[in-house]
Structure 1
Amino acid sequence: MVQRLVLRLGCGPASVDVCGKHTGPQDNNNTSTPSTPIARLRHRRRSSEAVGEASKENGGRLLVNDQNKYKSMWIRAQSTIWMIGSFALVVYMGHLYITAMVVVIQIYMAKELFNLLRKANEDRQLPGFRLLNWHFFFTAMLFVYGRILSQRLYNTVTSGKFLFQLVSNLIKYHMVICYSLYISGFMWFILTLKKKMYKYQFGQYAWTHMILIVVFTQSSFTVANIFEGIFWFLLPATLIVINDIFAYICGFFFGKTPLIKLSPKKTWEGFIGASVTTMISAFVLANIMGRFQWLTCPRKDLSTGWLQCDPGPLFKPEYYTLPEWFPHWFPWKEISILPVQWHALCLGLFASIIAPFGGFFASGFKRAFKIKDFGDSIPGHGGITDRMDCQMVMAVFAYIYHQSFVVPESVSVDMLMEQIMGSLPFEQQYALYTRLGEMIQRRVTGHS
């Protein structure tokens, strides 16, 4: 009864609390905790609202000023250690397993992005509409991976005439199969159009295709990097992880100057500290990774066996003599540097300066949809998409850089012979042999 009376009376200027004390306007300088439960509850609400308004005005709270930063850091550290350990295990297992990991990541990313514009009421009126989204997703997956892995699948199937013929036909009619699946999904979409739901359905249709472009564009480059040599996948991905970790650590302890309004917790101190650390790590890690053939050899098929190959000039050490004064202070007279380390510096520079803008883009995107994270599958980090924003930008750059500046230096007679023997039938190999012999004979005759 007393509680009902208190709730009815409230805390107005002329109200009386349960103890009979006058509860008129309090002095603004009085910061003592209210005595009654109802007053304490309202006091907490006013405090939380004030903190919320302050954080909105300031654009967010820096980690260095966050009261719960150590708890957040511990949760984030546990998740990071788990992810790094799992990632290292998959890398050790080889190219095919890394590709499978990329596929799983794609599925989780698509799920998180599909859910952004999902409305429960509309979905209940459109049974099977979610299934249509996944139909387009797996059609796009078949198209992308079919184009990337078709030659390697052809090289893998070496025994069994029936299986070889089946794979050959699948590769030959790959485009027809993919188009048939897509056009069936297109017709399915048209047949499911429902009155008063057109706008929502066409919005979902466009959103689905945007997701496919974002997810599969970067993944196609990622898988191509993997089969060019795990090195060209592992180093860029590791640099992004290092940049993210040290941006967090430097901002955690030293961050005072906000970097960009889209990401209020990002600071200049974290950005600069992470950039320096990433550049150093790129140079050092390239030297370490470049000495393992398991990481540097390209995979020409879909097998999982151990690899051995000629590492090529990029992964053969070059020795540089140090100045005469250097051995007086340090126990080295010369150092060995792999040529690929100079390329690693370019990757490190991009990972430090340009790739973080992928994260800024994702932050702006989340603000547009008024969400904190894309998902909650990784404690302390958000969703899978939250971890892949910078990786997507980096994967595309790594592939373009490799094809533009590295591949011309890595072409060898052995690599050309492997391509000829693996992709041309015997008749074309013999024709190539004959024509090449005639060309060489004419050149020798002309010089003589």
Structure 2
Amino acid sequence: MRPKQQAQVTAADDTASEPEPEPKPVDRKAKLRSFRVRTISSVALIGGFIGVIWSGHVPLMFFILLLQFLVARELFRIAYVAEKSKRSLPLLRTQQWYFFFTAVFWLYLRFIKNNLLVEVTSDMTLARLFVWALKHHSLISYSLYMAGFVGFVLSLKKGLYLHQFAHYAWTHMIILITTVPTSFFVSNIFSGILWYVLPAFLIVANDICAYLAGFFFGRTPLIKLSPKKTWEGFIGGFVCTLVIAFYLSAYMSKYKWMTCPRKDLTVFKGLDCTPDDVFIPATYTLADVRDLLPPAAAEYVRLAADRLPLPPQVRAAAADFTFTVAPIQLHALSLAAFASIAAPFGGFFASGFKRAFHMKDFGDTIPGHGGVTDRFDCQIVMAVFAYSYYWSYISKPEVTLGDVLNAATKLNDHDQILLVGKMANLLAAEGLIPGSIVDALRQHLGNHFTWEVPDS
């Protein structure tokens, strides 16, 4: 063996025999500093969120739009880095934001159309401007999308096809997984602020509780996608979120500002309504609670209870056991369970996404937390569940003024005039309006109607 080769082998043997370096100990000061920064920013975020809630339904709607905008901006930046071409792509930013706001226009007006009708019909000029647009909202939205689609095709350049189509796909994926799900929160807001605030706060509560439990007690790793998550934090967050949900829902349900639906688009205007049964405390037995569950789950619980080897005295005591809660507190436990068990996978999904691009955070907008997407990932998952749960188990069929106006705008001109005349006749018969109004309508509308006009 040559001397040079022998030296290389010896060096390799020495390297192989050296023990692996031990992992560096955790910097306790850095960890505490991160904890302090994260705590301060969390308090500031919660305080700002409470301020927006106090301001009302419409500011909350624009707050959600702002969050969607910030999340989309962070993800568009990632898409730009992932698919960056040596040459600049024509109209890339313009196309991305055009499709984003087209999606917002289509989604938001679907949820607030009835509220907007209540507002615009009080002013003749606004009614003329908006009623046609509201009646043809879907067609207008699709026309806007097709205009963007045609613009994209016309912008295609030789040598850039792959990058342009990649960005087109990125844009639609980002809108699909962020803007579309979280827009369902807008519908929940106008059904009652509680139906947005409670699910959103439960995500925050679970994040904080899981972080604290993991910080002080965490030992067992939970998932490789997020190395800092531990089973102790996961379980601690679950238990604490259930407790918070039970009492927070009871507290929120005391205020009409939180529970009453908003039928218009006014800001800072008080609300008054008859509390829904879901917010009124009632006395229940264990069998009643079982009946509140979905049919399949209720049957499973019944079979499990029947097969438990319990003494007769215990069964009798369980049958006689009663407790008093508001139904919202029981529904809140379902929301809390989802927020603690399923919603965190939105965060794990985001962690995997960041690892794919070798990123620590989506941005640095929020000190100690990273980007807005880092704090909004679980909310995206929660939004659709909260919307579906509300309309499946909470909402009751009712006809609102906005619903009637929405239906009336779909009538032809003659039937709309006939509706006005018939309503005026009914109101005059009830003594709610003077008969002179009906006389004036007959004078202006001609012989379209045959009414028996009561004395004014």
TM-score range, shorter chain: 0.7 to 0.9
Q: Work out whether 1:398 is the aligned partner of 2:371.
A: no
TM-score, L = length of structure 2: 0.74
Deviation at 1:136, TM superposition (A): 0.9
In structure 2, C-alpha distance between the alignment counterparts of 1:423 and 1:169, rounded to whole Å: 11
| Structure 1 runs not aligned, ≥5 long | 1-12, 14-24, 30-46, 56-60, 322-333, 435-448
Q: Find runs of 4+ consecutive structure 1 residues off by over 6 angstroms.
A: 429-434
**1:238 Cα deviation after fit:** 0.5
What is the CA distance between 1:195 and its match in structure 2? 1.7
In structure 1, the residue matched to 2:281 is: 317
Choose which of 130, 136, 139 in structure 1 pairs with 2:99.
136
Aligned to 2:373: 385
Distance 2:364 2:355 in 1: 17
Aligned in 2, Cα 1:430/1:392: closer, same or farther, shift over 3 Å?
farther
**Mapping of residues 359-374 of structure 1, within 5 Å:** 359-374=347-362
Amino acid at match of 1:149: I
* Matching of residue 180 in structure 1 with residue 135 in structure 2: no
2:78 matched residue in structure 1: 116
- The code of the aligned residue for 1:161 comes to M
Per-residue CA deviation, residues 342-398 of structure 1 (Å, 9 max, x unaligned), is 111111111111111111111111111221111111111111111111111111111
Give the root-mean-square deviation of aligned CA atoms.
2.9
Q: Distance in 1 between matches of 2:331 and 2:421?
A: 39
Q: Which secondary structure state, in structure 1, belongs to the residue aligned with residue 367 of structure 2?
A: coil
User: What is the CA distance between 1:151 and its match in structure 2?
Assistant: 1.4
CA distance in 1, matches of 2:87, 2:98: 19
- Determine the structure 1 residue equivalent to 2:439: none
1:231-310 correspondence to structure 2 within 5 Å: 231-304=194-267, 305-310=269-274
3-state SS, counterpart of residue 265 of structure 1? strand
Give secondary structure in 2 for the equivalent of 1:191: helix
- Is the CA contact (8 Å cut-off) linking 1:375 and 1:383 kept in structure 2? yes
Contact between 2:115 and 2:402, CA under 8 Å: does it hold in 1?
no
1:348 matched to 2:348: no
C-alpha spacing 1:432/1:246, structure 2 compared with 1 (3 Å): same
**Corresponding residue of 1:442:** none
Cα distance in structure 2, aligned partners of 1:121 and 1:204: 9
Other-structure match for 1:192: 155
| Equivalent-residue separation in structure 2 for 1:125 and 1:156 (angstroms) | 45
Alpha-carbon deviation of 1:432?
A: 10
**Residue equivalent to 1:416:** 399
Change (3 A) 1:103 1:157: same
- State the aligned residue count: 366
Distance (whole Å) between structure 2 residues aligned to residue 146 and residue 234 of structure 1: 21
Matched, 1:68 2:30: yes
Q: Distance in 2 between matches of 1:231 and 1:401?
A: 13
1:371 aligned counterpart, secondary structure? coil
Structure 1 distance, partners of 2:231, 2:225, is 14
1:77 aligns with 2:65: no
- Judged with a 3 Å threshold, the aligned counterparts in structure 2 of structure 1 residues 347 and 430 are, in CA distance, closer, same or farther, namely farther
Q: Could you tell which deviates more after superposition, 184-193 or 306-315?
A: 184-193
In structure 1, the partner of 2:435 is none
Cα deviation code 1:277-325 (max 9, x no counterpart): 000001000100011000001111111211100111111122579xxxx
Contact 1:140 1:212 survives alignment (8 Å): yes
How does the TM-score come out when normalised to structure 1? 0.76
Aligned to 2:172: 209
* Partner Cα distance (1:123, 1:242) in 2: 45
Give, in angstroms, the shift of residue 275 of structure 1: 0.5
Higher relative contact order at CA 8 Å, sep ≥6: structure 1 or structure 2? Answer: 2
Matching residue's letter, 1:193:
L
Distance 2:382 2:266 in 1: 27
Distance 1:100 1:420, change over 3 A: closer
Note if 1:375 corresponds to 2:363: yes
SS of the counterpart of 1:352? helix
State the shift of 1:422 in Å: 4.1
Match of 2:446 in 1: none
Cα separation, partners in 2 of 1:196 and 1:165, compared to 1, 3 Å: same
Identity %: 47
Q: Give CA-to-partner distance per residue, 1:116-168, whole Å, 9 cap, x none.
A: 12149637522422111111111111111121111110111233322111110
- The alpha-carbon deviation at position 101 of structure 1 amounts to 0.2
Do the aligned residues in 1 keep the contact of 2:89 with 2:164 (CA within 8 Å)?
A: no
Query: What residue ranges of structure 2 are gaps of 5+ in the alignment?
Result: 1-6, 8-13, 286-321, 409-415, 426-456
- Kindly state the Cα deviation for residue 65 of structure 1 after the two structures are TM-superposed: 7.5
Q: Check the 8 A contact 1:229/1:297 in 2, yes or no.
A: yes
1:73/1:96 Cα in 2 relative to 1: closer, same or farther (>3 Å)? Answer: same
Match of 1:166 in 2: 129
Structure 1 Cα separation of the partners of residues 352 and 221 of structure 2: 16
In the alignment, residue 251 of structure 2 is paired with which amino acid? I
Once the two structures are superposed, what CA deviation does each residue of 1:212-264 show, in whole Å capped at 9, x if it has no partner?
11122212211111111001101110110000001111111110100011100
